[in-house]
Amino acid sequence: MIRAALTDLLLVGPAALAVVLFIFLPVGVVFGLAFTDYQVGAAQAEWVGGANFAQLFGSRLGRNALLNTLTYAAIVIPGSVGLGLLVALGLHGMATRLPRLSALLRAVYFLPVAATLVAMAVSWQMLLHPSLGLANTWLQALNLPGQQWLSDRGLVLYTLAGIGIWQSTGYNMVLFLAGLAAIPSTLYDAAAVDGADRGWTRFWSVTWPMLGPTTLFVMIVTAASAFRVFETVATMTAGGPAFASDTIVYALYREGFVYFKAGYAAAITVVFFLALLALTALQMLLVERRVHYR
Amino acid sequence: MTAALALDGVTKRFGDTTAITDVSLALGQGEFVALLGASGCGKSTTLRILAGLDRPSEGQVLMQGRCVTRDSAAARNIALMFQSYALYPHLSVYQNIAMPLRLRHLSVAGRLPGAARFSGAVRRTREDIDAQVRRVAAMLRLEPLLARKPGQLSGGQQQRVALARALVRKPAAFLLDEPLSNLDTQLRADTRDELRALHRDTGHAFLIVTHDQSDALSMADRVAVMIAGRIEQIATPQQLFHTPATRAVAEFIGHHRMNILPQGPAAALHPAGKGLDLGVRPEDLRLQADGPLQAVVRSRAFHGEETILSLQDDRGTALRMVLRGGSALPLPGDSVRLTAPPEALHGFDACGLRQQVLS
Amino acid sequence: MKHLILSAGLALSASAALAETELRVHYAIPTIWAETQDKLTAAFMAAHPEVTLTLDGPAEGYEDGAQRLLREHVAGTAPDVAYVGLNLWRVLEDRGVLQPLDPFLPADPQAAGYTPALLSLGRFEDTQWGLGTSASTLVMYVNPALVEQAGGSMEDFPTSFDGVIELAAKIDALSDTTEGVWIARHDWRFQSLLGSHGGRPMTEDESDITFDDAAGLAAAGLYQRFATEAGMSSMSENDARQAFPAGTLGIMFESSSLLTRFTEGAGDSFDVTVKPLPVAAEENVYFPTGGNAIVMLTEDPAKQQAAWDYIAFVTGPEGQKIIVENTGYAPANKLVLDDSAYLGSYYAENANARTAHAQVADHAGPWYAFPGAEGVAVTDLIAAALVEVTEGAEVEPTITDLAETLRLQLGMK
């Protein structure tokens, strides 16, 4: 008995220790720091209670970052889930008639997912350049006014959201394609016999409900990545102009790594961590409850 | 009488393969027909063409004498029960049963939740649907299960739901794809009776597709035997068993495979054997000390009510016979003599077609 | 945060086990500095064989570099000498990372080429914490082709902001794709315009914000005038840095350190020409200086001497020559400018560099870093206010509000 217990401990011990050392302990430290005014490099820190949290939710900048993130997510989630679904439906339908083209398009749509975002950001900057970029050249060819895609305060967040959609549609498409392939064809036959043999009726009575679990999963994954938006902001706008594209994770970076305000950055991390935790919990709850059809 | 549903010279090709060839089949009003065949023989294709899920490459589909070849499944008002049941997993039993009616009688707007509050017509339609769902549910004893999801039901219950969904809208014809294949032996027997009763009560034309001849023979008014994409024979179960039209049907029908004695040696049993292959069912062979056929017992298998002997006659033809009762059974290695009554002999010519054997 | 944990662990094993004459040097932005640093190291070790230099892997940017130095200081693994952004050494000083250089400075710094203006770049409250190694100030990059198309003249180029705005408006009107003028909405650019008007961002003792005076309003007002009178667009810094070499932007206010990049970017399509920043005020004019300071971190007296030798070398004429010739930055030592033996031939070939560097010698001044924990954060607030002004917000209330916000946030009230 004791020997077996020792063996178990020996097997589990190192990994558990690593988890505690490299995950739980740092997370604990972050939670602790969140209640201090610690600055990177400072010798000491003061306990400030909830002041950092009050600043995040109370200050203009903090609320701006939260609101920007929510706006961004509110565009990117439906946008990339919807577009991913549409593309998947198109490619799924095309796969039987034009298999080669379908496979080619699938790869094309997936490219943004596989590409390095920072490299892509450079391309986007060139495309969206106000006087030299293709985007404005096309607009002008259509006699429409060019736009300051990345430096107009009213537009920049939507531009980034557009890029966010472009970036995640391919991934969602692949998930939806897998979901579509898993729908038994007899259900479509059943629906056809029941009177739903084409178009929307068929989509609403079979495809959409059968994609329920996939859709929920895709939504949660997209939401998690939308709330985490950082690379595009950091590489293309640095949160600007005038904080118009400041998001929660960029603010975290800005406060901690540019302003050296580790305590405040830790508070943002804590809020962000809890929000993602809640999202995950929601997912598990919903998956258990609703969409497993049990 | 015009058939409720009929195929006329239907051929279906998928690329280079031909699934069914020149199939003609009529399902009369209120008739119960079984389409019997081994798996892969083309019966599912036939069913899908009947239902409107596939289009024939050649030939016509007719309903009440009208050509419906180009009509969609929905337009034909044919009910189809799938082998896998194909219940909508996200809908309750009630909603599953109501689905065909909702799709048929309510517009997209009328299907929206709460639409009944704004339109009297929608409300009346919904009440009508509710009444029909409950009627069918009562008929199939599904009332206690109406709120459940298919995933919470047993196989037999799921099958009744699938039946209910097919029956709820008073179809012009009712097609069942292997309705009994997913059920255990006891449930299977009960369900056969139930299907017969349903057919009698509803008066719909039934077409059942099965690979199991006891299902087909026990339930159907007529049985169509399909072999390798062609219909070999359509006849009552009795005719099929007693006067199979071809050698293939003869070998296919029957609990034990029919013995075929090749032309020539078969003459030992009956003079007609000079020009015809002679078939004799294992049940019809008798042990008789001065029987015309000499054979050696190869093996013996005891099955309770009956015992099956595998034999080989002196010309090397493998034979099988079924013996009832347990007394005086020959042992493997024993030499026996066999006979068969002339009325139990089936003659087939070189093309495999049935020829009269005079007794 | 993980880094803190790791650093704490590393601190245990770290100690001053290094050889006496070994020095570790930190620098940032390898894209500009890598080759130059290698040459400096080789030249110094040739002159001082008793000292071995090791270069730490460079940080990507000044902020990263400062971060790393702070962390390494906590862990006790900091390098002995570091190049840091001229606006960031105060952050390090504030946290006790730096060692004062006064004990090492020669009795007469002026004679060694360290003019008071140059010393001011690394000085705070009578203590010398760093020495400039490379300097840049705001200059005007001009596209002569566009100027001539718009009917202007390079020989008679405007030396006042009014003249620049007038010319820029003409360039802007040339076509849909041309733009007249562009300046980043950014703390350092604002401080430059402010200095040109004789203003300062703060009082000498850093107890109050002073950019809400007439000079500050005029400087911020320029942003608005550029936009309304010369059609300046709100394109981003990245966009502008592409647009100028592409030949669609007439006049760009930018750091003199970008000279090489713009010249190479424009290639043969036009001759990038540098013009000095207009001087708007009669007196008190200064241009805040960007670039690098070199600072001493080691507390070991023996190493400190070697470290000073290195600092003196790179800030002396020989090191400065290497830096100027390789980076295009302006030198931070008067001797190299006065004695044409060092850079005479370089300037003969690089007229633009001469213009830019002369401006440094005439007007170099500190890049004010705002004090305290919020010091870096408020620079983004300044940038945001400038965006608003550029987009049409009234100048006076915006700048007054900004000053008030800064006073509150910096604890000046």
Ranking A56-65, A134-143, C12-21, C310-319 by mean pLDDT, the lowest is: C12-21
Q: Is B70 exposed, middle or buried (0-12, 13-18, 19+ CB in 10 A)?
A: exposed
Residue A292 pLDDT greater than 70, yes or no: no
Ranking A30-44, A74-88, B269-283, C335-349 by mean pLDDT, the lowest is: A30-44
Q: Measure the CA–CA gap between A153 and A157, rounded to whole angstroms.
A: 8
B73 shares its domain with B143: yes
**What does the pLDDT look like over A212-245, one tens digit per residue?**
888 888 888 898 889 988 988 988 888 878 888 8
How would residue C16 be classed by pLDDT, with cut points 50, 70 and 90?
very low
Domain-located, residue B330: yes
B238 shares its domain with B262: no
Contacts for A62-68: CB closer than 8 Å, 24+ residues apart: A62/A251, A64/A243, A64/A246, A65/A243, A65/A246, A65/A247, A65/A248, A65/A250, A65/A251, A66/A248, A68/A157, A68/A244, A68/A245, A68/A246, A68/A247, A68/A248
If one compares C56 and B275, the residue with the highest pLDDT of the two is C56
Q: Measure the CA–CA gap between C273 and C270, rounded to whole angstroms.
A: 9
Tell me if there are at least 3 CB pairs under 8 Å linking chains B and C.
no
Q: How many CB atoms lie within 10 A of CB A32?
A: 16
Residues from chain C contacting residue A41 (CB–CB below 8 Å): 69-71, 73-74, 91-92, 95, 97
DSSP string, C160-202: SHHHHHHHHHHHHTS-SS-EEEEE--SHHHHHHHHHHTT--SB
How would residue A165 be classed by pLDDT, with cut points 50, 70 and 90?
very high
Domain-located, residue B253: no
Task: Tell me if chain A has a CB within 8 Å of the CB of C387.
Answer: yes
Residue C194 pLDDT greater than 90, yes or no: yes
B164 shares its domain with B272: no
Instruction: Give the mean model confidence (pLDDT) for residues C180-204.
Output: 91
Instruction: Give the mean model confidence (pLDDT) for residues C107-134.
Output: 87
Query: Which CATH number does the domain housing residue B11 bear?
Result: 3.40.50.300
DSSP state of B326: S
Q: Is C144 exposed, middle or buried (0-12, 13-18, 19+ CB in 10 A)?
A: middle
Question: Pick from B88, B100, B151: which is nearest to A187 by CB?
Answer: B88
Put simply, the answer to whether C376 touches A259 (Cβ < 8 Å) is yes
Q: What is the pLDDT of residue A159?
A: 92
How would residue A131 be classed by pLDDT, with cut points 50, 70 and 90?
confident
Which one of C236, C391, C405 would you mutate to disrupt binding with A, by most A Cβ within 10 Å of its Cβ?
Answer: C236
B122 shares its domain with B19: yes
Length of chain C: 413
Q: Measure the CA–CA gap between C406 and C412, rounded to whole angstroms.
A: 8
| Dihedral, B263, B284, B315, B311 alpha carbons, nearest 10 | 150
Chain A residue with minimum CA distance to C374: A259
How would residue C10 be classed by pLDDT, with cut points 50, 70 and 90?
very low
Domains within chain A, CATH numbers bracketed: 58-289 (1.10.3720.10)
Which one of A19, A31, A131 would you mutate to disrupt binding with C, by most C Cβ within 10 Å of its Cβ?
Answer: A131
Domain termination site, one of B208, B226, B247: B247
Instruction: Give the mean model confidence (pLDDT) for residues C343-358.
Output: 86
Instruction: Give the mean model confidence (pLDDT) for residues C170-187.
Output: 89
Residue C2 pLDDT greater than 60, yes or no: no
The encoded tokens of residue B337 equal: 């003599």
Put simply, the answer to whether A40 touches C71 (Cβ < 8 Å) is yes
Percentage of chain C beyond pLDDT 90 is: 39
Q: Give, to the nearest 10 degrees, the angle between helix A212-227 and helix A60-97.
A: 140
Task: Tell me if chain A has a CB within 8 Å of the CB of B325.
Answer: no
Task: Tell me if chain A has a CB within 8 Å of the CB of B173.
Answer: no
Q: What is the pLDDT of residue A294?
A: 46
Percentage of chain B beyond pLDDT 90 is: 7
How would residue C9 be classed by pLDDT, with cut points 50, 70 and 90?
very low
Residues from chain A contacting residue B88 (CB–CB below 8 Å): 187, 190, 205-206, 209
Percentage of chain C beyond pLDDT 70 is: 95
How would residue C81 be classed by pLDDT, with cut points 50, 70 and 90?
very high
B202 shares its domain with B72: yes
B159 shares its domain with B185: yes
Question: Phi and psi (nearest 5°) for C294?
Answer: -110, 135
Put simply, the answer to whether A186 touches B86 (Cβ < 8 Å) is yes
**What does the pLDDT look like over B218-262, one tens digit per residue?**
888 999 999 888 898 999 999 988 888 998 898 888 888 898 888
Residues from chain C contacting residue A146 (CB–CB below 8 Å): 176
Instruction: Give the mean model confidence (pLDDT) for residues C12-36.
Output: 71
Residue A286 pLDDT greater than 80, yes or no: no
Chain C residue with minimum CA distance to A131: C177
Tell me if there are at least 3 CB pairs under 8 Å linking chains A and C.
yes
Instruction: Give the mean model confidence (pLDDT) for residues A144-167.
Output: 88
Q: How many CB atoms lie within 10 A of CB B95?
A: 16
Q: What is the pLDDT of residue B104?
A: 80
A neighbour chains, 3+ CB pairs within 8 Å: B, C
Residue C5 pLDDT greater than 50, yes or no: no
Relative to beta strand C364-365, strand C138-142 is: unpaired
Instruction: Give the mean model confidence (pLDDT) for residues B331-337.
Output: 86
The encoded tokens of residue A291 equal: 């969409």
Task: Tell me if chain A has a CB within 8 Å of the CB of C84.
Answer: no
Task: Tell me if chain C has a CB within 8 Å of the CB of A63.
Answer: no
Domain termination site, one of B195, B218, B247: B247
Sign of the dihedral defined by the CA atoms of residues B214, B216, B220, B226, in that order: negative
Ramachandran category for residue A197: left, alpha or beta (phi over 0 → left; psi -120 to 50 → alpha)? alpha
Percentage of chain A beyond pLDDT 90 is: 17
Shortest distance between the Cα of A171 and any Cα of chain C, in A, equals 29
Q: What is the pLDDT of residue B327?
A: 64
Sign of the dihedral defined by the CA atoms of residues A286, A288, A292, A293, in that order: negative
Average model confidence (pLDDT) for chain C? 86
B243 shares its domain with B316: no
How would residue C20 be classed by pLDDT, with cut points 50, 70 and 90?
low
Chain B residue with minimum CA distance to A200: B108
Instruction: Give the mean model confidence (pLDDT) for residues C313-331.
Output: 89
Residues from chain C contacting residue A39 (CB–CB below 8 Å): 95, 373
How would residue B332 be classed by pLDDT, with cut points 50, 70 and 90?
confident
B182 shares its domain with B106: yes
Of C306, C311, C332, C312, residue with least CA distance to C321: C332
Q: Measure the CA–CA gap between C77 and C69, rounded to whole angstroms.
A: 9
How would residue C139 be classed by pLDDT, with cut points 50, 70 and 90?
very high
Task: Tell me if chain B has a CB within 8 Å of the CB of A197.
Answer: yes
Put simply, the answer to whether A189 touches B151 (Cβ < 8 Å) is no
Residue C403 pLDDT greater than 50, yes or no: yes
Put simply, the answer to whether C387 touches A153 (Cβ < 8 Å) is yes
Residues from chain B contacting residue A196 (CB–CB below 8 Å): 74, 103
Shortest distance between the Cα of A276 and any Cα of chain B, in A, equals 28
B242 shares its domain with B305: no
Q: What is the pLDDT of residue A221?
A: 87
B180 shares its domain with B237: yes
Residues from chain A contacting residue B80 (CB–CB below 8 Å): 189-190, 193
Residues from chain A contacting residue B104 (CB–CB below 8 Å): 194-195
Ranking A128-132, B52-56, B111-115, B351-355 by mean pLDDT, the lowest is: B111-115
Residue C12 pLDDT greater than 70, yes or no: no
Q: What is the pLDDT of residue A175?
A: 92
Put simply, the answer to whether A186 touches B82 (Cβ < 8 Å) is yes
Residues from chain A contacting residue B108 (CB–CB below 8 Å): 200-201
Domain-located, residue B105: yes
Name residue B287's beta-bridge partners. Answer: B338
Task: Tell me if chain B has a CB within 8 Å of the CB of A131.
Answer: no
B190 shares its domain with B281: no
Name residue B278's beta-bridge partners. Answer: B261, B347
Ranking A189-198, C204-213, C310-319 by mean pLDDT, the lowest is: A189-198
DSSP string, B277-304: EEEE-GGG-EE-TT-SEEEEEEEEEE-S
Put simply, the answer to whether C380 touches A132 (Cβ < 8 Å) is no
Put simply, the answer to whether C388 touches A242 (Cβ < 8 Å) is yes
Q: What is the pLDDT of residue C233?
A: 87
Shortest distance between the Cα of A40 and any Cα of chain C, in A, equals 7
Query: Which domain, by its residues, includes B289?
Result: 258-355
Instruction: Give the mean model confidence (pLDDT) for residues A268-279.
Output: 89
Domain-located, residue B335: yes
Shortest distance between the Cα of A167 and any Cα of chain B, in A, equals 32
Domain-located, residue B274: yes
B64 shares its domain with B128: yes
Q: Measure the CA–CA gap between B59 and B67, rounded to whole angstroms.
A: 10
Task: Tell me if chain C has a CB within 8 Å of the CB of A257.
Answer: yes
Domain-located, residue B252: no
Based on the structure, what is the number of domains in chain B? 2
Ranking B238-242, C319-323, C353-357 by mean pLDDT, the lowest is: C353-357
Q: What is the pLDDT of residue C258?
A: 85
Residue C3 pLDDT greater than 80, yes or no: no
The encoded tokens of residue C120 equal: 């001011």
Residue B326 pLDDT greater than 70, yes or no: no
The interface pTM score, or ipTM, of the predicted complex is 0.78
Task: Tell me if chain B has a CB within 8 Å of the CB of A209.
Answer: yes
Of C315, C330, C363, C347, residue with least CA distance to C117: C363
Put simply, the answer to whether B82 touches A192 (Cβ < 8 Å) is no
**What does the pLDDT look like over B99-158, one tens digit per residue?**
888 888 877 777 777 777 777 788 888 888 888 899 888 888 888 988 888 888 888 888
Task: Tell me if chain A has a CB within 8 Å of the CB of B79.
Answer: yes
Ranking A165-169, A201-205, C144-148, C379-383 by mean pLDDT, the lowest is: A201-205
Domains within chain C, CATH numbers bracketed: 19-136+289-365 (3.40.190.10), 138-287+370-409 (3.40.190.10)
Chain B residue with minimum CA distance to A213: B90
Domain termination site, one of B247, B279, B295: B247
**What does the pLDDT look like over C255-265, one tens digit per residue?**
888 888 888 88
Question: Pick from A205, A210, A294: which is nearest to B103 by CB?
Answer: A205
Residue B215 pLDDT greater than 80, yes or no: yes
DSSP state of B229: T
CA of residue C366 relative to chain centroid, distance: 9
Domain-located, residue B44: yes
Type of residue numbered B17: T
Query: Which CATH number does the domain housing residue B311 bear?
Result: 2.40.50.140
If one compares A113 and C167, the residue with the highest pLDDT of the two is C167
**What does the pLDDT look like over B1-32, one tens digit per residue?**
578 888 898 999 988 888 888 989 888 888 99
How would residue C8 be classed by pLDDT, with cut points 50, 70 and 90?
very low
Q: What is the pLDDT of residue C43?
A: 93
**What does the pLDDT look like over B39-51, one tens digit per residue?**
888 888 899 998 8
Of B251, B249, B229, residue with least CA distance to B239: B249
Which string of b and e fits C55-69 if b means at least 16 CB within 10 Å?
A: bbebbeebbebbbbb
If one compares A159 and B273, the residue with the highest pLDDT of the two is A159
How would residue C13 be classed by pLDDT, with cut points 50, 70 and 90?
very low
Put simply, the answer to whether C246 touches A254 (Cβ < 8 Å) is no
Tell me if there are at least 3 CB pairs under 8 Å linking chains B and A.
yes
**What does the pLDDT look like over B60-112, one tens digit per residue?**
898 888 888 888 888 888 888 888 888 888 888 998 998 888 888 877 777 77
Put simply, the answer to whether A189 touches B104 (Cβ < 8 Å) is no
Put simply, the answer to whether B149 touches A293 (Cβ < 8 Å) is yes
